[in-house]
Structure 1
Amino acid sequence: MLNGKTSPNFKRSVFLTESAYYGGKLNYQSFCGDITKIAIQLRQLIQNKGITGYKTAGNWAAFTFMTDTIPANSYKPFTYDFDDFTGIKDWSKQFVTKLLKTHSGNCHSLPFLYKIICEEIGSKAFLALAPNHVYIKHLDEKNQWTNVELTNPGFPRDQWIIKEMAISVEAIKKNIYMNPLTEKESVAMTMFDLACGYKSLFGYDKFVLQVSNTALKYYPKCVPLVQLRANCLLSMINKEKKKTKPDTAILFANIALHKRAMADVNQLGYKDMPIELYRDWVQSVEKEKKKRGLIKSNNQQPIQK
């Protein structure tokens, strides 16, 4: 898809990365069937609402499907899964296939599914990045960009995102955050997932580096990929150092590559969002959901309807 041999297909890209994690055991026809079923119901919802003439009808339908209590989602809206929301212990927590089964996900799987559904209906939805976060952008009826947040359903303004995500002025000037991704950049993001899934199973090695380098050719300003490449090189350096007889040629080559990778990180103007701040933001989502009655205050489980 990236080299032009096949047209970009975000739905298939997402499936391929998730299936690879499970050793190729997922069924693409079944996955497509689930998405098609949703699309059929949402097209009917749009028709019943009488809004087929609006270009954002598909966006409204996808948002309604994911956040409201309606027959199409079996009266069970999609909620935030606070258990291992970064996928450190279990990378499959990031998966759209997991989200479809459980109706609970995170700031990775929720916008991914929204984009897949919109494209299945024939509407446009674009991924956008913030520190440790993914959300959606789409053009409204006046052709102005609208932000769509699915962790705490709403339509935040750019100023809110900048403040809550602690995005620096330099990062904004370098255009590393808050821009709608192209289709190839979105596919490159799924390659980040492919590399992370592999890393969670087997650790860092040349495969992670190969995937990162390939994806970065098509999305050079992707902070998660740049970080992943730097972390992979550092891990490979440390592994070589621990050997009884380190290969100095390999060691010095990887050290040089790591210095270059860190220079790329610094050149982009990237600064870590403090983990405490991110935790606070995630907890604010939880508090807001409690206020809206989406989770019980005693055990934080979704209310069954």
Structure 2
Amino acid sequence: MTRLPLILTLVASACCNFAACTNRQSETERRLVRRDSVLTEDVYYNRAYWIISDMLSGKAPLSLKKAVFAYEWAYSEGKLNYEDYDKEITETAQRLQRFIKKKGVSHLKTAGNYALFEYFTKPSELNGNKAFEYDFEDPHGKEDQTKQFVTKLMQTHTGQCHSLPLLYKILADEMKTEAYIAYAPLHSYIKHRDEIGEWVNVELTTGRVVADEFYISTYDVTTDDIRNRIYMDTISLHKTIADCLVSMAFGYKEIYGVEDPFLLDCYNAVLKHYPNDINALKGVYAYTRAIDKRYYVNHDKRNLEYVKTFIEIDRKLDSMHYKDMTPELYQELSDAVEAYHRRILKERKETKK
């Protein structure tokens, strides 16, 4: 992506008025905030950071809908339109509420979950006769990060384990329906309670409800992972929004490189609230290793402060019994998951014949 340098002395305040922060931004708007609020000279990412950070600090209401849009908007250099995005989510939620009423299931605790499952998995008037499907083309966003975006999912009805659960959660929040995002290695999915209070796992990439054993066996989740609440635990709305900063850092790193200090601002903002967050810890580790490596090249010696930081993170991850994947295991798991999705898709097509 080609980005024009945006060297600003001051930028507009971090509010939810995304439209104010565009290439047409006025000089008056650029002078509204103190310099110490500018963490990056990329005006879009700076705005997105403060939108999410203000939610985490209690200065703004929690809204996953706005948090997700913020970092996707930043990556797209302000080209996404929040009003259109918000309108589509609102209208979809209203359509699902009418569906619940029409089916006569409003009295059920899981009425919203039922409607959402129908919306995602079955072609109908709810989704323009186009169910949501797994996108096999660059599912991890290595070539095109927008492949993982919720805004892309809304347009194409094709996504993967990052965007599908996020859209489900956004719509559930809009409908005041209980739903939580949960993680497995390289994966996320939805958890909610059924009518008798038992937990249900909704696997949106295949349009199925699956047992815990599926994630344990497929993604090699250990008892330590579960005990330390690294994987397969319900994630609060606050934590889900904090995780948006990690996603935002991922996109920013693609543009500006691994050594940009804004990455550290994002990771530290997460660790301030969640000191054991695996992805933020790994982000700080990668950043300090990269900076230390460059320091060694320039000075022919190690920076002890950076060395101390990544050694401490190493020890912390060890104390949590966390084991990072080797590149070989990562590829093996990715291939196995893709093969599984292709098999499910084939079975579904054969069933329709």
TM-score, reference length from structure 2: 0.79
Q: Name the CA distance, whole Å, in 1 between partners of 2:61 and 2:273.
A: 14
Q: What is residue 284 of structure 1 aligned with on the other side? A: 340
C-alpha separation between the residues in 1 aligned to 2:308 and 2:292?
Answer: 10
After superposing the two structures, state which structure 1 stretch, 175-184 or 224-233, moved more. 224-233
The residue that corresponds to 1:264 in the other structure is 316
| Map 1:1-305 → 2, pairs under 5 A | 1-204=55-258, 205-243=260-298, 245=299, 251-273=303-325, 274-275=329-330, 276-293=332-349
Partner SS for 1:264: helix
Whether contact under 8 Å (1:136, 1:148) holds in the other structure is yes
Determine if contact 1:111/1:135 at 8 Å carries over to the other structure. yes
Residues 176 and 223, structure 1, Cα contact 8 Å, conserved in 2: yes
Secondary structure of residue in 1 paired with 2:56: coil
Q: Distance in 2 between matches of 1:295 and 1:84?
A: 27
Moved more, 151-160 or 11-20: 151-160
**Structure 2: tracts of 5 or more residues without a match:** 1-54
What letter is aligned with 2:293?
A: N
| Closer/same/farther in 2, CA of residues 294 and 230 from structure 1, 3 Å limit | farther
- Aligned-pair CA distance for 1:295: 12
Q: Which structure would you say has the larger Rg?
A: 2
C-alpha displacement at 1:181, in angstroms?
A: 0.6
Deviation string, structure 1 residues 157-180 (Cα, Å, up to 9, x no partner): 112211111011221221111111
Matched residue type, 1:265: L
List structure 1 segments (4+ residues) > 3 angstroms apart after TM superposition: none
CA distance in 1: counterparts of 2:351 and 2:239, whole angstroms? 35
Partner of 2:19: none
How many residue pairs get aligned? The number is: 293
- 2:271 maps to a residue whose letter is L
Contact 2:226 2:233 in 1 (8 A): no
Q: Cα RMSD (Å) of the superposition?
A: 1.9
Larger relative contact order (Cα-Cα within 8 Å, sequence gap ≥ 6): 1
Contact 1:17 1:194 in 2 (8 A): yes
- What is the deviation of 1:24? 2.4
Q: Displacement of 1:109 after TM fit?
A: 0.1
- Paired position in structure 1 for 2:31: none
**Partners of 2:67 and 2:241 within 8 A in 1:** yes
Distance 1:86 1:293 in 2: 24
**Aligned-residue offset at 1:294:** 8.5
Secondary structure at 1:242's aligned position in 2? helix
Deviation per residue, 1:151-200 (Å, 9 max, x gap): 11111111221111101122122111111111111111111111111011
**Structure 1 residues 76-120: Cα deviation after superposition (integer angstroms, max 9, x where no partner):** 111111111111222211110010111111100000000011111
Give the residue type in structure 2 aligned to 1:174.
Answer: N
Q: Amino acid of the residue matched to residue 283 of structure 2?
A: L
Shift of the alpha carbon at 1:210? 1.3
User: How far has the Cα of 1:224 moved from its partner?
Assistant: 2.1
Q: Give the 3-state SS of the residue equivalent to 2:107 in structure 1.
A: coil
**What whole-Å deviation, never above 9, does each CA across 1:271-303 have from its counterpart, x for those lacking one?**
23522023212211111111101999xxxxxxx
**Aligned partners of 2:74 and 2:350: how far apart in 1?**
33
Contact 1:131 1:272 in 2 (8 A): no
Q: Show the counterpart of 1:303.
A: none
Q: Does the CA contact (< 8 Å) of 1:68 and 1:77 recur in 2? A: yes
TM-score normalised according to structure 1 size: 0.91
Give the secondary-structure state (helix, strand or coil) at the position aligned to 1:292: helix
- Helix, strand or coil at the partner of 2:272: helix
SS of alignment partner, residue 127 of structure 1: strand
Ranges in structure 1 where 5+ consecutive residues have no aligned partner: 297-305
Inter-partner Cα distance in structure 2 for 1:28 and 1:148: 28
Q: Which amino acid letter does the alignment assign opposite residue 161 of structure 1? A: Y
Letter in 1 for 2:316: D
